[in-house]
Amino acid sequence: MRPEATWCATTRAGESFSIAAGAQVDSWRVFPVDPEAGSSFELTWYDFPRLDVRLR
């Protein structure tokens, strides 16, 4: 499932930026359907290892 909107597209559209070591950025995505509690999905972000996420 692909998001309808993302933090990057909304706040940094077309930009390239860096996050300093030790810095933090809150990010978000808007999906077209709310997943059920307890469901899981795999997050892939650039070259970082894939991350399994389970919703509460």
Token duo for residue 25:
């950025």
Beta strand extents in 1-56 (DSSP E only): 5-6, 29-30, 40-43, 51-54
Q: What mean pLDDT is reported for the chain?
A: 85
Kindly give the parts of the chain with pLDDT less than 50. none
pTM of the model: 0.49
Separation between Cα atoms, residue 31 and residue 3, nearest integer Å:
4
pLDDT in the model for residue 22: 94
pLDDT in the model for residue 8: 85
Separation between Cα atoms, residue 37 and residue 56, nearest integer Å:
5
Separation between Cα atoms, residue 27 and residue 37, nearest integer Å:
20
pLDDT in the model for residue 20: 92
